[in-house]
């Protein structure tokens, strides 16, 4: 079987599960509140279970810290660029600049990466994701609140970051690995039951994410031009930046293996964070529909870009 055909075959389950979401949407199978609860299940239970097992089985090296910092700084720079672009393109939409920074790893990236690569490779994507997770929690959230007139104390932001299930899962996973605690508990046969439970919970992540993505796909004709131009501009910059970081940082400076580059490209072709529309309520329904359309159509572009990436990289 050729490499191209193998990639297409592996993409079939992903595409079919997204189509299931589209069909369910047309049948009005879920209430909006049910969809929100499914997202909470993913972000608070199934994804943290995956991340804990992933990091607990990983030896955390110093090079990873540099990679995390670089991704964080890059996201900050892109938010600054987006702020300048937003003032010219859509000055009446306060959250539009945020579309040029950050990535939706939790609700899409992990499902994509895990669909095509072995479980032991997932930590490489998770390591690269840490920098942008910290950025979204601490910088983008503050930026969006400031732009929309919502006031949240820095102390409250820090608290929400510290108690986030995703952050806690990463922290305790790294701690259990570095301290040798995970190797110690695996000596007890009873822990196999706990590990199996976490793996089963983690296995829910991919199908749930795909169904939610399919259910929320939409595109309004009046937003088509701005949507297309925004996505093409963002992806062009992201792919070029991913190439530069991969070549000069991952390969030459840090000497990490090829899968870290694949993980970086996977992250950089993802849509902006899906939390952005939450902050658009004060900008009006028209502006909210534009942001939602950009995120929705970007999902399709990301899927196509990911499949092409696997074929040529």
pLDDT digits (tens, 9 = 90+) for 240-270: 999 999 999 999 999 999 999 999 999 999 9
> Which residue's entry shows tokens 């990490």?
256
Sign (positive/negative) of CA torsion 50, 53, 58, 60? positive
For the chain, the domains span 3-312
Most confident of 59-68, 277-286, 287-296: 59-68
Say what the pTM is. 0.89
The arithmetic mean of pLDDT across residues 166-193, rounded, is 91
pLDDT at position 62 is 87
For residues 274 and 302, what is the distance between their CA atoms, to the nearest angstrom? 14
pLDDT at 3 over 70: no
Q: How many CB atoms lie within 10 A of CB 218?
A: 13
- Per the CB < 8 A criterion, the answer to whether 290 and 93 are in contact is yes
pLDDT at position 120 is 85
Contacts of 70 (CB under 8 A, 6+ apart): 131, 245, 249
Helix (H), strand (E) counts: the chain: 15, 0
pLDDT at position 53 is 92
Sign (positive/negative) of CA torsion 307, 308, 309, 313? positive
- Per the CB < 8 A criterion, the answer to whether 116 and 310 are in contact is yes
Q: What is the dihedral of CA 190, 196, 197, 199, to 10 degrees?
A: 150
DSSP annotation of 270: S
- Per the CB < 8 A criterion, the answer to whether 90 and 96 are in contact is yes
Q: Which residue has the higher pLDDT, 306 or 158?
A: 306
Reduced to 3 states (helix: H, G, I; strand: E, B; else coil), residue 252 is helix
Q: Which CATH architecture has domain 3-312?
A: Up-down Bundle (1.20)
* pLDDT tens string 107-164: 889 988 988 888 889 999 999 999 999 999 889 988 888 877 776 667 787 888 888 9
For residues 295 and 286, what is the distance between their CA atoms, to the nearest angstrom? 15
* pLDDT tens string 72-121: 999 999 999 999 988 888 878 888 899 999 999 988 899 889 888 888 89
């Amino acid at each position: 079987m050729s490499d191209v055909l193998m990639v297409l075959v592996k993409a079939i389950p992903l595409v079919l599960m997204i189509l299931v979401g589209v069909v369910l949407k047309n049948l009005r199978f879920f209430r909006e509140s049910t969809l929100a609860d499914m997202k909470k299940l993913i972000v608070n239970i199934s994804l943290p279970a995956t991340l804990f097992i992933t990091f607990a089985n990983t030896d955390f090296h110093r090079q990873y810290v540099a990679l995390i910092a670089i991704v964080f700084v890059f996201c900050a720079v892109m938010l600054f660029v987006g702020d300048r672009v937003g003032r010219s393109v859509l000055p009446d939409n306060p959250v539009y600049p945020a579309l040029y920074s950050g990535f939706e790893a939790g609700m899409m990236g992990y499902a994509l990466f895990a669909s095509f690569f072995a479980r032991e490779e997932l930590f490489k994507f998770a390591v690269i994701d840490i920098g942008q997770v910290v950025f979204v929690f601490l910088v983008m959230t503050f930026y969006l609140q400031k732009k929309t007139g919502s006031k949240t104390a820095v102390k409250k932001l820090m608290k929400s970051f510290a108690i986030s299930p995703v952050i806690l899962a990463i922290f305790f996973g790294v701690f259990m690995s570095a301290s040798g605690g995970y190797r110690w508990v695996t000596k007890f046969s009873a822990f196999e039951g706990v590990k199996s439970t976490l793996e089963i919970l983690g296995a829910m992540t991919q199908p749930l994410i795909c169904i939610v993505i399919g259910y929320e796909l939409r595109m309004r004709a009046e937003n088509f031009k701005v949507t297309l131009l925004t996505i093409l501009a963002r992806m062009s910059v992201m792919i070029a930046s991913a190439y530069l970081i991969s070549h000069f940082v991952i390969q030459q400076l840090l000497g990490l293996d090829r899968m870290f580059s694949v993980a970086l490209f996977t992250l950089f072709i993802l849509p902006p964070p899906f939390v952005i529309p939450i902050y658009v309520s004060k900008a009006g329904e028209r502006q909210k529909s534009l942001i939602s359309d950009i995120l929705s159509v970007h999902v399709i572009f990301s899927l196509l870009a990911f499949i092409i990436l696997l074929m040529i990289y």
